[in-house]
């Protein structure tokens, strides 16, 4: 799995290759993630006007591309063009561990 971290920006900030058991674990987390998008964060905890259209990360796995949003107020979740799924803290950790860069996650993401 190739992880490309954008951090909500329009160009790549960092990238890493995930292999072996870590790649298998990440793929399994993606496949078993709950269907649909994460709920929109409440306005008192997030200013949706600051959201960007760019993903936090893009995963290249096999023959599919998975766009991931976890730091925004709206549109959070994963999308591969055929299926949308919720982003979880476990998925974000598996994506970000090999990147070795800072990131933020709302406390309301499921485990």
CA-to-CA separations, 64 to 8, 19, 52, 58, in angstroms, rounded: 20, 16, 23, 10
Q: What is the pLDDT of residue 35?
A: 96
- pLDDT per residue as tens digits for the range 29-48: 999 999 999 999 888 888 88
Query: Over 70: is that where the pLDDT of 67 sits?
Result: yes
Q: What is the pLDDT of residue 85?
A: 97
Which residues, including other chains, have CB under 8 Å from residue 106's CB and lie 6 or more apart?
41, 45, 46, 70, 71, 76
Backbone conformation region of residue 3, classed left if phi is above 0, alpha if psi is from -120 to 50, else beta: beta
Confidence of residue 106 (pLDDT cuts 50, 70, 90): low
């Amino acid at each position: 799995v190739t992880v490309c971290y954008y951090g909500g920006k329009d160009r790549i900030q960092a990238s890493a290759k995930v292999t072996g058991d870590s790649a298998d674990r990440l793929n399994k987390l993606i496949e078993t993630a709950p269907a649909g998008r994460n709920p929109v964060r409440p306005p008192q905890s997030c200013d949706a006007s600051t959201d960007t259209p760019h993903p936090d990360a893009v995963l290249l796995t096999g023959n599919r591309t998975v766009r991931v949003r976890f730091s925004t107020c709206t549109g959070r979740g994963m999308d591969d063009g055929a299926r949308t799924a919720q982003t979880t803290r476990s998925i974000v950790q598996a994506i970000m561990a090999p990147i070795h860069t800072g990131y933020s996650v709302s406390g309301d993401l499921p485990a």
